[in-house]
Structure 1
Amino acid sequence: MTKNRAPFHHIVSAVLIFIFSFIWLTPQATASSMFGDFTVKDEIKLGGEFNKMIHERMPIVLDPQITEYVSKLVARIAHEMPPQPFPITSAVINNNAMNAFAIPGGYIYIFTGLILNLKHESELAAVIGHELAHVSLRHVARRMEKMKLVNIASMLGTLAGMMLGMSGGDNAASIGQAMAMGSIAGAQTAYLSYTQQNEREADHLGMNYLVASGFNPTSMVDSFKLMKQRQWYVSNNNIPSYLSTHPGLDDRIDYLKQRFVRMPPAFFTRVSDDVDFHKIQTLIRARRTDPKVALAHYNNIPEADINCLDQLGLGIILSRMEQNQKAEKAFVQANKDCPNDPLILREMGRFYFTMGKMDKASPLLREAYLRAPNDAMTLFFIARIQAERKDYAQAIPTMRRVAEMVPRDQEIHYHLGRMLGESGNYFGAHKQLAYAALYGRNKKQALFHLKKAEGLAKTKAQKAQLITLQKRVNPVAEN
């Protein structure tokens, strides 16, 4: 979480940037930057198209608990960057690869596998700092500029080939390789990869961002060591992709250590608050990995060391495996060990909801809401309980609020559509079901509900909403 910092901290941050900047002098992108033919405007366009492709083709995590945590951590690091001509935008990709990357235009992507395999928030912050340094230094943009690619499609394919084509053999790699082969030769994609000098510059500037954000500088070295260590414990097909796109860790660890001797000793006493980081790891492990593998992880923890988050993880996994009695026992123990924790209350309420025990689910979710009123997942299940009780006057506004908080989630729009249909609002129902199909990448189903909505649109407001929906389902191709 971003912590409130006194004005003195901002002064220290500025001084740190100034002190460390003597190590190298590399121009960074500003609002007025123009480098040859590949301008900042081009970067923004390319980044937007790439981001659109990622959201259309990759499993983007929409759980607000995870995305908001990552977004706040990215914002904390980005705050220490010089002014950029674009906002820094983050997304989390549901993928076991140990990877993260940033692209021109200020987009940064974190894989769930990276979050899961790091030990501390500060290590994740170090990786984020390094990636944002690549953006600030325009490393990819400069090399694309030299390649003189002729159009946005070839740029997009090359960028995908570099960033996704080395992700350890799963769907990310397949998409990256297909995009590269479909638009440009592999040799040019390889040319786009980071050079040793690029890495050195990004390491040093990323270290500046890390330290200025209040983290221990050793975290960057620790994250690199962990990835290198990980290489020896996995098969060749699952080597951390960060080692493929960011090579030469040994030398990089050495020169980063050399910087430590010039830093104030107080920097090395900094300790990360890992509470939220460990909650996010628990959610990822319990909900987004193979349940048998996740269960083995918790079974290997000595009984004396199991804490409430471990019990929570066990409860989620056991419920996924339909071992409901054991799951309930784990949830109860988690709530006993950490009473009134909003995440535990939410997940326990969610469990009882899936069991059909609304009387048990409702008070838990209500309590979770009182303690964390901006948790969209809690509100989602509260709305569904209201709908189960046919209280559509409460359920529909609650679910609309959830849809505003998480606007591109298929399941949210699906249930909102069902609620509207059951309440007699058939235009609204088909509109929401069309959006659900759209976000679920089911064009045929989206068109079906669009046609139904077209026949039901009567009021001026409905017709205006219909035009927006038509543009989303049948976007006009850009020249």
Structure 2
Amino acid sequence: MNHRLPIPNPIRVALLAALIFFLSCRGVAFASVSIADEIEMGRKFDETIHAQMAFVEDPEVIFYVTGVVDRVASALPPQAYPIRSAVVANNSMNAFAIPGGYIYIFTGLILGVESEDQLAAVIGHELGHVTERHVAKRMEQMKYLNIASLTGMVAGVLLGASGAGGNIANLGGALTLGSAAGAQSAFLMYTRENEREADHVGLNYLVKSGYNPNAMPQTFEIMNKKSWFMSGDNIPSYLSTHPGLDERIVYLRDRIKHMPADVLTRDFKRDRFQRVQTILRARMVSPETALAYWDSKPQTQLTCLDQAGRGIVLDRLKRQQQAEQAFAKALGCGPDDPLVLREAGIFYFNQGNANKAAPLLQKAAILNPRDAMSMFFTARIMAERKDYAGAISLMERVAREVPKDSEVRYHLGRIKGESGDIFGAHIQLSYSSHFGRDKQKARFHLDKARSLAQTDAQKRQLEELERTISGPGEDKKNNGKAEGAKLNRMRLFR
């Protein structure tokens, strides 16, 4: 997958289509919003957001963020739905939650805060909005919703993506401008009362889950400072939908000063947090900015993973010789670090040096059996060496880890085809096209697979594929032109 930020097409039409579909199913009158309504809205919004926004799929990042979210969520009272998290590949300093227990963490937030506690503080606050049902209550207050107000609702949810520039950062801004004329368009902007309540319960969740409560006002102070000294995309877009930070900081500090000393002195090792920051900085930040960050530090202070991060950035800048030198330093001091091994292996794979890449990737996969990326590239090397049985087995494991990744499915289909399994190749290529939002190709490969299905097992695979393609997540407006949709994804496996 490609780690660069995509440049998506505007999505207002797609969002409106989703909203119209939602209205056609549910109607527009809401005397009250039930938990079932929230779950359904959350599901539909999640489908739309995943169809149009770029998401990170790196296991190193996903498992870490999921762990932090789950830890905070463990402090919540019993909920009628699970808390689901995802990482948005966008450098805005933002996070948002939607009805039904969905929470989205932007990579810019992970890079903008200084510790896991601070990341957990934002998560706690957002989950406070969820548990207090602030969105549902605002909808109930409106009693009647129309297309314009629902557009405003989605704009409010996605406002965190606003900002200047020609990428996904201007998404929320475009929607907000388009819906600002309606008086109801801001009805889901959180009120100061909502914010105070989310701060209150969010701080409780933060403390109960074992984090330092000081992290919440610290995070808000970081955002305030960024808004004072920065402009454009660097201003935390979190401020747009979460007003009144100054008075909330005062309130939080007043609450915290009465807490026990052992709570206020809690401290966590920052190793995992810094590892995730390093990989995101190398992948997500402009290569010039990321390189300047590492070059500004004394070389003696750079960790093994820092050297690997420099290697990734130098590779992005097409400075392969310097990149190889950086990876050599990283491997020299971190020969047993699975992330260093993985990134060095990927580098050598992309340089066409499978002999150097293979042992690094294999060792990385042994040290971190859940790292789908190491397995992905190892499977590709095995296929190049004509070990089709081993390559298929390993790539199928990768597909179980990231079942909706179109490129994983594409390579699995290619390997199956090369091995002689033409039916299996068309099945996987149909999945690949479906998850890549190319309806026409998905149907083409489905028809080919249908014509080849003979055994009961093949017919069951075909039925499962048909259910996936015809399921509720299908983009009814997809015209079969996948190129724009491909640009809207954060493609991870290269």
Relative to the length of structure 2, the TM-score reads: 0.85
Distance 2:435 2:176 in 1: 25
Residues 269, 94 of structure 1: alpha-carbon distance in 2 compared, 3 angstrom cutoff = same
- Identify which of 69, 74, 77 aligns with 2:69: 74
The equivalent of 2:39 in structure 1 is: 44
Distance 1:461 1:439 in 2: 23
Distance 1:252 1:234 in 2: 22
Q: Is the 8 A contact 1:157 1:184 kept in 2?
A: no
Of 243-252 and 74-83, deviating more is: 243-252
- Identify which of 243, 248, 251 aligns with 1:252: 248
Distance 1:379 1:191 in 2: 47
Root-mean-square deviation over aligned CA pairs: 2.3
Which secondary structure state, in structure 2, belongs to the residue aligned with residue 108 of structure 1?
A: strand
Which secondary structure state, in structure 2, belongs to the residue aligned with residue 110 of structure 1?
A: strand
Residues 359, 422 of structure 1: alpha-carbon distance in 2 compared, 3 angstrom cutoff = same
The equivalent of 1:189 in structure 2 is: 185
> Unmatched 5+ residue regions in structure 2?
1-29, 477-494
Q: CA deviation at 1:305?
A: 2.1
Confirm whether residue 312 of structure 1 aligns to residue 314 of structure 2.
Answer: no
Q: CA deviation at 1:154?
A: 7.1
- Identify which of 239, 242, 253 aligns with 2:235: 239
1:358-369 superposed matches below 5 A: 358-369=354-365
Q: CA deviation at 1:354?
A: 1.3
Q: Is the 8 A contact 2:413 2:427 kept in 1?
A: yes
Confirm whether residue 147 of structure 1 aligns to residue 136 of structure 2.
Answer: no
Distance 1:360 1:182 in 2: 53
Distance 2:451 2:285 in 1: 43
Q: What residue identity is the alignment partner of 1:188?
A: Q
1:431-453, Cα deviation, whole Å (9 max, x unpaired): 11121122222223223222322
Q: How many residues align?
A: 444
Q: What residue identity is the alignment partner of 1:374?
A: R
Q: Is the 8 A contact 2:92 2:233 kept in 1?
A: no
The equivalent of 2:106 in structure 1 is: 111
Which secondary structure state, in structure 2, belongs to the residue aligned with residue 90 of structure 1?
A: strand
> Unmatched 5+ residue regions in structure 1?
1-34
Q: What residue identity is the alignment partner of 1:400?
A: E
Distance 2:301 2:333 in 1: 12
- Identify which of 221, 224, 230 aligns with 1:225: 221
Q: Is the 8 A contact 1:403 1:413 kept in 2?
A: yes
The percent identity for this pair of structures is 52
The equivalent of 1:159 in structure 2 is: 153
Distance 1:451 1:182 in 2: 41
Q: Is the 8 A contact 2:95 2:160 kept in 1?
A: no
Q: What residue identity is the alignment partner of 1:394?
A: G
Distance 2:230 2:323 in 1: 30
Residues 182, 323 of structure 1: alpha-carbon distance in 2 compared, 3 angstrom cutoff = closer
The equivalent of 1:59 in structure 2 is: 54
Confirm whether residue 431 of structure 1 aligns to residue 427 of structure 2.
Answer: yes
Q: CA deviation at 1:166?
A: 4.6
Q: CA deviation at 1:364?
A: 1.4
Confirm whether residue 262 of structure 1 aligns to residue 258 of structure 2.
Answer: yes
Q: Is the 8 A contact 1:348 1:364 kept in 2?
A: yes
1:136-178, Cα deviation, whole Å (9 max, x unpaired): 1111111012222458x77863431111135333655654466
Q: Is the 8 A contact 1:369 1:378 kept in 2?
A: yes
Residues 181, 254 of structure 1: alpha-carbon distance in 2 compared, 3 angstrom cutoff = closer
The equivalent of 1:407 in structure 2 is: 403
Q: What residue identity is the alignment partner of 1:264?
A: P
The equivalent of 1:28 in structure 2 is: none
Distance 2:454 2:177 in 1: 48
Q: What residue identity is the alignment partner of 1:120?
A: S
Distance 2:156 2:357 in 1: 46
1:338-357 superposed matches below 5 A: 338-357=334-353
Q: What residue identity is the alignment partner of 1:249?
A: L
The equivalent of 2:119 in structure 1 is: 124
1:387-442, Cα deviation, whole Å (9 max, x unpaired): 11110010001000100011111111111011001011111111111211222222
**Relative contact order higher in (CA < 8 Å, ≥ 6 apart):** 2
Q: Is the 8 A contact 2:161 2:171 kept in 1?
A: no
Q: What residue identity is the alignment partner of 1:345?
A: L
The equivalent of 2:25 in structure 1 is: none
Confirm whether residue 371 of structure 1 aligns to residue 371 of structure 2.
Answer: no
